[in-house]
Structure formats: structure tokens, C-alpha cells
Amino acid sequence: MPIELNFLENKIGELPVHIREYLLSLRDFTALLWERKDHAAGMPASLRDIGELPLMNGLYADILPERYERCFGNPEYAASLFGDSAQLLCVLYAEIRSAIPAVFDGDVFRLHVRVALLEKLVDICLAMAKEPDFYAAIKAPLQSAMASYLRGLDRDFQERRLKDRLIPGRNSVAGIAAGDFLTEEDRRTLAFLNELPKEEVESLAATWVRGFREGFAVTRRDLSKKKNVTMRAPLRFAPILAKAEEQLRSFGLTPIYARAPQSLFEGRSLSKQGIYGTNPNKQFDYDHKDDLALFLDEDFVERRLKNLERAYEELSDNAALLAGPMVLEAFGEKDFVPKQSPHAVQYDEEGRKLFNRLRAETSRITNKYIPQEETSFTIMALPVRSIGDDFEEIFRETVRVNTLDASRYSGIQQKLIDALDQAEYAHILGRGGNQTDLKVRLHPLEDPAAQTKFENCVADVNIPLGEVFTSPVLAGTEGLLHVGRVFLEGLEYKDLKIRIREGMVEDYSLANYPEEEENRRFFRENVLKHHNTLPMGEFAIGTNTYAYVMAERYGIADKLPILIAEKTGPHFAFGDTCYSQAEEVRVYNPDGKEIIAKENEVSCKWRDDPGEAYFHCHTDITIPFSELGSIIAVKADGEEIALIEEGRFVLPGTEELNLPLDEINELKEKEHGKDAETTADPAV
């Protein structure tokens, strides 16, 4: 290996045993990684061939769940060994591992700089070998070395990161797949998609591409000025990516493929933004999602923002050509409830403020060079094999749900909008054990003949179709939102209750963990995104009862992504509105009316103080039809218009939405009857 690590076993012999094991494990890892670099050459020309690539999963063996208990990247294990330096050594371990993509991209420089950081650690350890409290002694110089590493490479990182995301051809899906974590299940999914009839894959890709183009049409934005599209998808869906690429190129658009972030520079997340394989261990990513907190200070924030602006300025011509992202999500993975480790890096109050400022300013700079009012997006979701034995049936049913007739739904949803446009507020009640009792205040209309409060969503940017949504007025929006069980961004929430006052989150509780404080921390980190509170940015009514029935028939309601789940009942989003940073863009429904409910009492501050207007998050929470009692549109004079009662659509003109519900109810009644017969007849 041409990389010379500045130690041998005999040079570190006097160090504590655990730090020796740590150093040697990283030495062996970097050596193994170097040996694998030649696998990046000769990538298959076709996206269809990704399943034939040799698996590089040995590079991920140490963080797999079955070995994670004794992994140096596990905060719990590190804390049991390394005393005062546990967090730093744990974070460094994760950062060294993040060199995997660089080697398979042919960028050995990024491996060299990580090895140089490892060599610096060796020097520090050798210098402090005689100190009685070894781990306390190495903490300050190690902190300084890692901070210096981040400072020295930040400008280079920003430039590389933006080039990967703005310039076509820098990465290929096959190249990304070469070093990512793929499983036999991924290969089976790839094989299944490759064996599907050509017209089925083309139709699915066409729905996805059409949604992206329709996003420009409905907002009357000029797609002709754009040339490139950012692609975000799991590698297991490569055959669909291939067909979408063909169709995009026929419209004069070029796809851009970039790896999902995973280094300390970018931050780890369970929600991937880019092209990615299967997550080898979600707990590892969860444990390291806040690692940057160890180094975040005013100087870091200022330097990061300066470097980001400089990089955007140099690539401004490329940024102007970006049309936006096309997102393909996977759902049906095994349930994941993260363990809350007290030893993982966490933000303190000052750190949260700096982090939120960094995120806000990053968004502002990005929007300066890639204005949201000039771009669009689309997002669609498909199941994976781990969803169960009925995968192939569920996949085809999901395709059906994703390709429903938009023209038919447009008219039905317009009936709901016409009723809601007359209302001062909507009243939502749960049923059974669901305790929801919530009033959502709606914007007034100055010109009802030309204006509307709700957008009629019919599978443009947001696939599948099936919702009407608005940005509520905060004043007068209050009550309790309750969901028995929901998954948000891959995380489970049990018995979730959110108390709303004047449109803001006032209090919350859930039942994931035995201790209340653990539950509150979980909600604050993952829903409030480190904010003390958030406004209700969206209220919507889902109308895709076919999606709901699919979930009921196959028992996968808990597996649905929010993209589909939000269409299976009313949902409420906390954070920014759906029109965040695009408030001035005029949006119209198919009937020609302009949607005017695009901001609230917080987001309206964008004119004078964007830092106070935006939270840079938007988390949807859905009440399924099975837990829904009623939705009533209440006029200013108190007159009520019933939209839904006992989980069924009762507004005239919307009854067709109940047909799938009747189908599943009949099926349940038959199954209940069979169960009763079996119980009654002892001979059976």
C-alpha cells in the first residue's frame, strides 16, 4: 500500500491496549480499502448490469448490527473504553470510514487526508504515552487536530460537493454502486425490475418524468431554460432510473447522479439525499447524525458559509441550469426504533442555535443561486422486498396507485375544495381510541370567484395523486393531534400526541421509551429539528382510498412512506409551508383559480427577515381513515358542511372515494365470518 501509516505494532507497544486495537483496526481498514480501489475501474455501461457488480460488503462488516456492539464507531462501546476522548475517537472512526466512496470514485486524495489525520492521532498518542491519565491527555490535541482537518479541507469539500451536484457526468450510478453497500435482496429487486415487461417499466418511469414536467406547467415556470436534473434514488431501482434517463434526454434534460452524504463535512442522516445503496446499520447513522456539534462554533459557521458562497459563485452558470430534483423513495424496510445513546454527540442549546443558523443561511445561499421560484421537483415511492412475501403483488399495486387517472380525481377533489373555500375553519375529530380534537383556521378569500384556499394535488410533483392542501392561519388553530402509530422519515412514533396553541406546537408526548425525557428528546431532535417549537405549515385531506386499501389488504400501513401515507387521511405538517421560499410564485388549480393560502403569521416575515420566517423542515403526520371520526367545514355563521363522517366521505360528489373502502370492509367482514365459523364448529 503506497500510503505509509506512521506507526508499526512495535512503535505503539507502550500505549493502552484499547487504543492499540483501535489504531490497528483503522490501519487494516485503510489497507483493505486501498486494495479495493481497482474495482472502481471497468464499471458496467448499463444501469441494468449493476446487480452483477461484486459486493464490497466486507468494507462495512464492522458496523453491521451483529457486530456493532463491539464496534469502535458505537458511542456506547467507545465510552466503555476511551474515557474523556471517547466521543472524539468514535467520531474519528466514522470519519475514516467515510473514505469508502472516495476510493471508488477514483479520488484517493480524500483517503490520503483521512490517513494523514490518523497519523496525527498516532503522533499525539505516542507523545502522551507516559501520561497517567492518557485519554484525558490526548483529548485537547485530538480536538485541535480534527478541527484543523475540517478547517483545512472545507473549501475543497464545498467545491467538490457542488460540482458533483451541478455538473453532469462526474459520477455514474454504476460507479456509485461499486463501493456502496448492496445486499442479495437488492440484487433480487434489480432482477425483478429487469424481468418486468418493458412497457411496465417505461410507464412507471413516464409517470415519474411527467410529474416533474407537470411541476413546471402548473406553476407556469419555464423549463426550457433548464438543462439538468438531480436524481435521488436507491440503487435497487436502477432499471427505472435508466428508463427515466432515456425519457429525460428526449426532452433535452440531462440527469446528474451524486452520492448521498455520509462524511463529517456533510453530516449523516437516515433520510438520504442522492444515490445510495442499502443502509448497513441505521443505528450507526443515527448515532453519528450530530457529530458536527463537537466542532461547531461561530468561526466554523462563518467559514463554511463563505466557502459555500464562493463555490456557488464559481459555479453560478451551472447552478442556473439546474431544473431541480427527481426523487424515488423506497419503503417497506424493517422497522427501526433507534436506541438513544447518552454517549452519542448531542447539541447543547448554543449548538442548536448555531446549527439552525447554519442551515438557514445555507438554504438562503442555495436559493440565491438556484431560486425555488425557477425550479421544481417530483417524488415517487416504491416498495422493497423486505416488505413481505407479497412483494411482487404490492409492487404492482403500488404502480397502480401511482398511476391513477388524474382527470377523474381532479373533479372529485374540487368538490372538497369548493366546500372548504366557504369555511372559516375545519374541525377534525378522531374516533375509537384516537383523541384528536383539532380546529384549523383557514385563510379568508377576497375574491372567491378567482381565488381558492386549497391546492388540488393530482400527481404532478407529488406522486401519487390524492390530496387537497393549504397553509393554515395560525391564530385560531388549536387543539390536540393524536396518532396511535406513525413512521416519519424511517422512525417510529407510538401514541404520538401534539398539543397545538395558536398554530404552534405547545406540548407533545409519545410512548417510545420508558422515560418521558427520552421521548421528549426524540421528538425535539427528529420532529422539531432542534427548535423549541414549530408552526403548523400545512393542513391537507388525503383522498387516495386505493392507497389506504392497499395498506389494509397487505397489512403494510406501518410501512408506507409519508408520501403515500399522507394521501390516506388528513395530515398536518409542522415547519415550513408547502410554498416556502416561493411565496411570490403564482399557483393555479385546474379550474383556473389562484391559490392564495401560501403563508402564515411566521412565514410572512420572509419579506423583511428570512431568518425568522423559515425553519428548513416540513414533517407530515397523518391520521389514517381507521382512526378518523369526522372532518367538518364550519362557516363563519356556524353552518357546518360535513366532508367525512366515521372515516367515510359524505360530501355530495365525493362518494366514489368510498368504493375502495367498501371493498376492504367486505373483505374484512368475510374474514371475520370465517373466523366466527371456525370458532363455533369444534370439528373444524
Q: What is the pLDDT of residues 41-52, one digit of tens each?
A: 445 445 556 666
- Across the range 442-465, mean pLDDT stands at 91
| Entry pTM | 0.83
Asked whether 402 and 464 are in contact (CB, 8 A), the reply is yes
| DSSP-based three-state secondary structure for 648 | strand
Asked whether 671 and 665 are in contact (CB, 8 A), the reply is no
Q: What is the pLDDT of residues 178-209, one digit of tens each?
A: 788 888 888 889 889 989 998 889 989 999 99
- Across the range 279-308, mean pLDDT stands at 95
| DSSP-based three-state secondary structure for 606 | helix
Contacts of 177 (CB under 8 A, 6+ apart): 50, 53, 235, 238, 277
Asked whether 533 and 520 are in contact (CB, 8 A), the reply is no
CA distances from 258 to 165, 261, 292, 359 (A): 6, 9, 22, 20
Q: How confident is the model at residue 2 (pLDDT cuts 50, 70, 90)?
A: very low
DSSP 550-590: HHHHHT-TTT--HHHHTTSSEEEEEES-TTTT-TTS--B-T
Which segment of 48-62, 164-178, 295-309 scores lowest on mean pLDDT? 48-62
Which residue reads 469508502 in cell numbers? Answer: 100
Q: 518 is written with which cell numbers?
A: 427520552
> Percent of the chain beyond pLDDT 70?
92
Rounded to a whole number of angstroms, the CA Rg of the chain reads 26
CA 504 to chain centre: 23
Asked whether 112 and 3 are in contact (CB, 8 A), the reply is yes
By DSSP bridging, strand 618-622 and strand 455-457 are: unpaired
Q: Which helix (H) or strand (E) holds 338?
A: none
Please state, in angstroms and rounded to a whole number, the distance separating the CA atoms of residues 281 and 263: 15
Q: 517 is written with which cell numbers?
A: 425525557
684: pLDDT strictly greater than 50: no
Q: 195 is written with which cell numbers?
A: 424481468
Domain boundaries, the chain: 17-374, 404-673
CA 506 to chain centre: 25
- Across the range 246-266, mean pLDDT stands at 91
Neighbours of 35 (CB within 10 A): 11
The mean pLDDT of the chain is: 89
DSSP character for 40? Answer: G
Q: What is the pLDDT of residues 373-411, one digit of tens each?
A: 899 999 999 999 989 899 999 999 999 898 888 888 999
